[in-house]
Structure 1
């Protein structure tokens, strides 16, 4: 049995996001909490609720060194800004849609070859710490 990032047993095997043999580094955003207009139920429309977002990116390292320059790497702050822009566009029905939009946005960067996105609604189900979805998308080579 494999273990996920939270060390819980799972039958899902994830590809390594950092891998020196493939020249891949891992860029991530952990536990970004924000308010979002999200949900299909009437009580979720016209208001916001707390969500938590985690993003893991597989980033192809350039042959040349990054030279300690922000322009030569994938900027996690830019990813967060783009997530905020997606949320600012208005109501989203499904956490699946939000996850897909974030993955698509991330994969637009030519250096990003894989994206794992986890969206959690923190107030949706009484008694549950969170509910949500996790997806993984890769560029076809």
Structure 2
């Protein structure tokens, strides 16, 4: 019997990405596709696999306006460059590890108070469009 996820109680509280009452803006990277040396199986160790990454950030807006200045905002291109740097550091066994490293990288910016990272392997399982993991992490005061 199928169930309706809306009726299941959970101890997970998802923070809204954008929230005007808390001066929070949503910065995101959607469906960034690249290749990575990732996987635990022997046949995955010597090859690159197609992956897709999505990142959603909750970003505190400063008390002053950004005045159309890139230096005053969290830049989505910097997120992509950070992902590329992580991937260039060598083989990663688990998509969970990659997601955690990306989350940690985004939280290094003190303006980022929450991050959700989704990592998908696009060719790992025959018949599946993708497999992977999605995590959510928050800055702890």
Same fold by TM-score greater than 0.5: yes
1:1-141 equivalent positions in 2, closer than 5 A: 1-2=5-6, 14-141=14-141
Question: Which residue does 1:7 correspond to in 2?
Answer: none
Measure the CA separation in 2 of the matches of 1:46 and 1:91: 9
Question: Which residue does 1:6 correspond to in 2?
Answer: none
Q: What stretches of structure 1 of length at least 5 have no aligned partner? A: 3-10
Question: How far 1:13 sits from its partner (Å)?
Answer: 5.5
CA RMSD, Structure 1 to Structure 2 (Å):
1.6
Question: How far 1:21 sits from its partner (Å)?
Answer: 0.4
Between structure 1 and structure 2, the one with the greater Rg is 2
Change in Cα spacing, 1:13 to 1:138, as seen in structure 2 (3 Å) is closer
Number of residue pairs matched by the alignment? 135
Where do 4+ consecutive residues of structure 1 move more than 6 Å?
Answer: none
TM-score by length of 1: 0.92
Secondary structure of the residue that 1:118 maps to in structure 2? strand
